[in-house]
Amino acid sequence: ERQIAAGALAQVELSASQSELERRKDTFYANLDALNTIENGLKALLSPNRDSEIWKDEIVPSEKRPSMPSDLEPLADAVKTALRKRPELRQVAQRREANEVQTRFNRDQLKPQVNLVGTYVNSGLAGSLSTADNPFSSSNVAIYERLNQLSANAGLPPVVPPSFGALPGFLIGGYGQALQSLFGGRFPSVQVGFQLDLNLRNQTAQANLAQTLITDKRLNFEKARSEQIIDMQVRNALQSLQANRQRITAAESAVKAAQEKLDSEIRLFQTGESTNFLVLTRQNELLESRRRSVVAQLEYNKAVARLEQAKGETLETYQISIK
């Protein structure tokens, strides 16, 4: 405005400055809205519920430059580490182990089976005497009575009916006598034998065996595919890490050069040898260079995270344990 008042600049230069100012305000508010959205998303990840105290605070990003290792890890070592630590391969290995057990079982089902069968039974026998007639001898009572009458008429001695004898004392009693007989091992029963199962065409076992063999081939293909994907992920992460490290160096050089151009343009503007438009242009170039530098650092951090993920070391790097 002072140069316009002095006649060194045209009035249109003021309009151009005001237009650029409003454009930058619009960009500022748009980025502020995006920042608030990202901040709320981060709070949602950090807070257990909507009543957490973190919702009342403002999250201020800290300026932290990414660590720049001088030498990158060799590809072969990184792939070897990934193949050892990635959980996908351990899961496939466990599934293959379970399938191998099932395969051995199904193959055994095709063989004849000979089983040794043995049983041992110990019974507890006891009870009270029955007052009813013996069913084996009661039917012959009338015959023996008639026979003895005829023997008496003929002067012959009577015929004594046969007797089954009295029951032994250990069979006479109640529940306690039965338990004593059981645990005393008085009435053991032992059976021993062989059982032969011969199925010449066990189609069910053959089908189960074929299914497990197909599953084994599928798991081998899955293992090879997972290893290939892991190798590709490690390669991409290492290449991205190297490329973004070079991007950071180039972006920092661009910021330095843009700052020097802006300082030079300001000095020319102050002596009347430049225009307001050129100064604003140099400012925009500097801001764009700074943005590219921040983006390069962001992409480098992402590449580091992707490499840790590809190698299966994310939890180990940040000392996170899962119980």
Distance in angstroms between the alpha carbons of the first and the last residue of the chain: 67
Confidence of residue 76 (pLDDT cuts 50, 70, 90): confident
Sequence-ordered list of residues with C-beta below 8 angstroms from that of 54, at least 6 positions apart, any chain: 43, 46, 47
- The per-residue pLDDT for range 9-53, each reduced to its tens digit, is 778 888 888 888 999 999 999 999 999 999 999 999 989 888 888
* pLDDT at residue 69 tops 70: no
The answer to whether 30 and 24 have CB atoms below 8 angstroms apart is: no
> Which is nearest to 242 in space by CA: 289, 316, 306, 294?
306
Q: Say what the pLDDT of residue 33 is.
A: 95
Higher-pLDDT residue of 177 and 223 is 223
Q: Which has the minimum average pLDDT: 56-65, 156-165, 254-263, 294-303? A: 156-165
Q: Is 274 helix (H, G, I), strand (E, B) or coil?
A: coil
* pLDDT at residue 294 tops 80: yes
Pure H helices in the chain: 2-6, 12-46, 75-85, 87-108, 141-153, 175-183, 203-270, 276-311, 314-317
Q: Say what the pLDDT of residue 197 is.
A: 81
Beta bridge pairs of residue 188 = 122
- The per-residue pLDDT for range 128-154, each reduced to its tens digit, is 777 777 776 677 777 878 888 888 888
Q: Which amino acid is at 32?
A: L
Separation CA 315–CA 292 (nearest Å):
30
> Which is nearest to 82 in space by CA: 204, 261, 292, 233?
233
Q: Say what the pLDDT of residue 68 is.
A: 60
Q: Which has the minimum average pLDDT: 21-30, 114-123, 266-275? A: 266-275
User: Mean of the pLDDT values across residues 205-219?
Assistant: 90
Structure tokens at 288: 């764009």
Q: Say what the pLDDT of residue 253 is.
A: 94
> C-alpha distances in angstroms, 179 versus 23, 173, 188, 229?
102, 10, 14, 70
Separation CA 275–CA 20 (nearest Å):
14
Q: Say what the pLDDT of residue 98 is.
A: 93
Q: Say what the pLDDT of residue 67 is.
A: 62
- The per-residue pLDDT for range 234-250, each reduced to its tens digit, is 999 999 988 988 999 99
User: Mean of the pLDDT values across residues 278-287?
Assistant: 91
* pLDDT at residue 84 tops 70: yes
Beta bridge pairs of residue 187 = 123
User: Mean of the pLDDT values across residues 112-131?
Assistant: 84
